[in-house]
Amino acid sequence: MSDQPEASSSVDAVIVGAGFSGLYLLHRFRQLGLSTRVFERGGDVGGTWYWNRYPGARCDVESMQYSYSFDEDLQQDWTWSEKFSPQPQILAYIGHVADRFDLRKDIDFDVEVTAAHYDEGARRWTVETESGERVSAQFFIMATGCISTAQIPTLDGFDAYTGRTFHTGNWPHEKVDFAGERIAVIGTGSSGIQVIPVLAEEAAHVTVFQRTPNYSLPSRNVPMTEEYERSWKDVYAERREEMRYSGHGSLKDLNDKPALSVSEEERQAVFEDRWETGGPAMLGAFNDILTSQEANDTAAEFVRNQIRRIVKDPVTAELLAPKTYPIGTKRICIDSGYFETYNRDNVDLVDISTAPIERMTPDGLVANGTEYAFDSIVFATGFDAMTGTLFNVDIRGRGDTALREKWYAGPRTYLGLMSEAFPNMYMITGPGSPSVKSNMVMSIEQHVDFVIDSIVHMREHGFDLMEPTVEAEDDWVDHVQEAANKTLFPRANSWYMGANIPGKPRLFMPYIGGVGVYRRICEDIVENGYKGFRFEAKAAAAAE
């Protein structure tokens, strides 16, 4: 990019992405009086909730908690209609926030950022878009989310297939009519588990191709009651503060007893109660489910038995019951009638755990030596999570260091916020932060506030460059792995570990030490003069 023409415009900050992160960043940058451009590849605000509009898409963090907390009037005014919000309502909420704070006028939609290069002399980033526009900025922020690069597996014959194909993470905007169709769904993660029951209601037949079964818990979603809403809104500020220092950024009922400290009878009663409560409550049934294999086995067996109880055909039930990894170490799924769907006459399960789908054909696909014909194939095959979207942009820092090359063996960040050699570049909920192991909106707000406070700090001290030190970054990378190794998480082939993408390094990418713990670490770093970061003043640079 260095041989190309100068940037055509100059701003204080360029933000990539207009989801929860980008919008709040823009709002805060404006309050600081900084000029800002936001580039968004979608046609409107919303990020994840703009793209993942497949039937049945729903958040599995409670509505009262999965929302911004930065503005008291906003959180008091907005009303959710269900305990767990459906995608259209979350998208409407994000649109409301954009209107309420008049954010759209600084956002360029349908614009893909292709490159961002750091100019050491000027101490500025040049950000380039697909159309060739080049913008110079002091600060460059990737607010691109953790799960935003949809992944369709490479299959021979893909182009020859004559039916329709869809990916849950890139779903059409107009309603798709599946009535009377034979549909394949490939993938049984959170997205597959949500879309399958809805498609089964509409289509003539649904065939599910399952590589790995997932533990899924019933959501027990219910309409929002005025009473429940009031119970939150009356004390919203206090509840939000509690969430900020909680384990996962949301309030959950966590039992502080180890699973094996109680009798078998009591343990089963606790599990039953959690299963009836619904949502992710099961993982908090005892305090060691994610750290002790023995404790985990008891919860896993309970869920397997629920599957065996719900699914009438014993062979299908056994295929749906996960046995190869501890419960909770692949992202727990929350469903509405998922296992019950397999009792329908128009739903079949095909186990592809021992041999992958062989190829696609003009009519469908071949698996386990059998040829299947489909009118539509739905890929619920997930994402190149945490790093994929960062790598889609050619990001180059000091010394022309490419982010992709620096991270070839896995992401290297300090706090999941910045990476050495990339001054003044921030990642919101980047790898090495609680991110996907937390209530994302809470973590987004914390990171945005950290970035804004850092910039205020720089202004107050006459600095114009901020960057982590190599030592701080190395220590943090080690700490992230140490935290993961104290849990059972590394035992699963999950996307947390990069295991769903062929060739991706295997290591646990989010920080599992806890949202409150992480927040305190960040606060301590700030109180100690931004320990682990180095700053440079403009005058010093000019003198060099």
Nearer to ligand NAP among residue 214 and residue 424 (C-beta): 214
The torsion angles phi and psi of 474, rounded to 5 degrees, stand at -60, -45
**Which positions from 456 to 495 touch ligand NAP by CB under 6 A, shown as an x/- string?**
---------------------------------------x
d(CA 369, CA 56): 32
Nearer to ligand NAP among residue 210 and residue 298 (C-beta): 210
- If one asks whether residue 36 binds ligand NAP (CB under 6 A), the answer comes out as no
Sequence-separated (6 or more) residues with CB below 8 Å from residue 293: 326, 488
- If one asks whether residue 188 binds ligand NAP (CB under 6 A), the answer comes out as yes
Residues 497-516 that bind ligand NAP (CB under 6 A): 500
> Of 389, 392, 386, which is closest to residue 115 (Cα–Cα)?
392
Instruction: Find the shortest distance in angstroms from Cβ 76 to ligand NAP.
Output: 25
Nearer to ligand NAP among residue 335 and residue 467 (C-beta): 335
Task: Count other C-beta atoms under 10 Å from residue 79's C-beta.
Answer: 12
- If one asks whether residue 191 binds ligand NAP (CB under 6 A), the answer comes out as yes
- If one asks whether residue 60 binds ligand NAP (CB under 6 A), the answer comes out as yes
SS3 of 31-73: the string is HHCCCEEEECCCCCCCCHHHHCCCCCCECCCCCCCCCCCCCHH
- If one asks whether residue 186 binds ligand NAP (CB under 6 A), the answer comes out as yes
- If one asks whether residue 319 binds ligand NAP (CB under 6 A), the answer comes out as no
15 with 22: CB under 8 angstroms? Answer: yes
Using DSSP bridges, classify how beta strands 134-142 and 124-129 pair: parallel, antiparallel or unpaired: antiparallel
Instruction: Find the shortest distance in angstroms from Cβ 429 to ligand NAP.
Output: 12
Residues paired with 10 in a beta bridge: 136
Task: Count other C-beta atoms under 10 Å from residue 408's C-beta.
Answer: 9
Using DSSP bridges, classify how beta strands 113-119 and 124-129 pair: parallel, antiparallel or unpaired: antiparallel
Q: Give the binding range for ligand NAP (CB under 6 A) out of 314-322, 349-357, 386-394, 402-410.
A: 349-357
Nearer to ligand NAP among residue 182 and residue 331 (C-beta): 331
- If one asks whether residue 248 binds ligand NAP (CB under 6 A), the answer comes out as no
d(CA 118, CA 138): 9
Nearer to ligand NAP among residue 36 and residue 191 (C-beta): 191
Residues paired with 366 in a beta bridge: 359, 371
Instruction: Find the shortest distance in angstroms from Cβ 57 to ligand NAP.
Output: 6
418 with 467: CB under 8 angstroms? Answer: yes
Instruction: Find the shortest distance in angstroms from Cβ 84 to ligand NAP.
Output: 8
Rounded alpha-carbon distances, angstroms, from residue 524 to 46, 275, 434, 436, 532: 33, 38, 17, 23, 11
Using DSSP bridges, classify how beta strands 113-119 and 107-108 pair: parallel, antiparallel or unpaired: unpaired
**Which positions from 112 to 151 touch ligand NAP by CB under 6 A, shown as an x/- string?**
-----------------------------------x----
39 with 15: CB under 8 angstroms? Answer: yes
Instruction: Find the shortest distance in angstroms from Cβ 253 to ligand NAP.
Output: 19
Nearer to ligand NAP among residue 501 and residue 537 (C-beta): 501
Six-digit token string for 24: 């709040």
d(CA 99, CA 103): 6
Instruction: Find the shortest distance in angstroms from Cβ 236 to ligand NAP.
Output: 22
Residues 367-426 that bind ligand NAP (CB under 6 A): 380-383
Rounded alpha-carbon distances, angstroms, from residue 30 to 16, 45, 375, 445, 509: 16, 17, 49, 16, 32
Q: Give the binding range for ligand NAP (CB under 6 A) out of 106-114, 188-196, 460-468, 480-488.
A: 188-196
- If one asks whether residue 331 binds ligand NAP (CB under 6 A), the answer comes out as yes
Residue nearest to ligand NAP (CB): 189
Rule CB under 6 A: choose which of 114, 165, 212, 481 binds ligand NAP.
Answer: 212
**Which positions from 272 to 301 touch ligand NAP by CB under 6 A, shown as an x/- string?**
------------------------------
Q: Compute how many residues bind ligand NAP; rule: CB under 6 A.
A: 29
- If one asks whether residue 86 binds ligand NAP (CB under 6 A), the answer comes out as no
Nearer to ligand NAP among residue 74 and residue 352 (C-beta): 352
- If one asks whether residue 64 binds ligand NAP (CB under 6 A), the answer comes out as no
300 with 325: CB under 8 angstroms? Answer: no
d(CA 165, CA 172): 11
**Which positions from 161 to 180 touch ligand NAP by CB under 6 A, shown as an x/- string?**
-------x------------
Instruction: Find the shortest distance in angstroms from Cβ 296 to ligand NAP.
Output: 18
> Of 189, 192, 148, 212, which is closest to residue 377 (Cα–Cα)?
192
- If one asks whether residue 18 binds ligand NAP (CB under 6 A), the answer comes out as no
Rule CB under 6 A: choose which of 436, 444, 488, 522 binds ligand NAP.
Answer: 436
Rule CB under 6 A: choose which of 34, 59, 116, 515 binds ligand NAP.
Answer: 59
190 with 305: CB under 8 angstroms? Answer: no
Alpha helix stretches (DSSP H) within 374-468: 388-391, 403-406, 440-461
Q: Give the binding range for ligand NAP (CB under 6 A) out of 189-197, 267-275, 402-410, 515-523.
A: 189-197
Residues of the shown chain interacting with ligand NAP in the complex, contacts defined by CB under 6 A: 58-60, 147, 153, 168, 186-192, 194, 209, 211-212, 331, 334, 352, 356-357, 380-383, 436, 495, 500
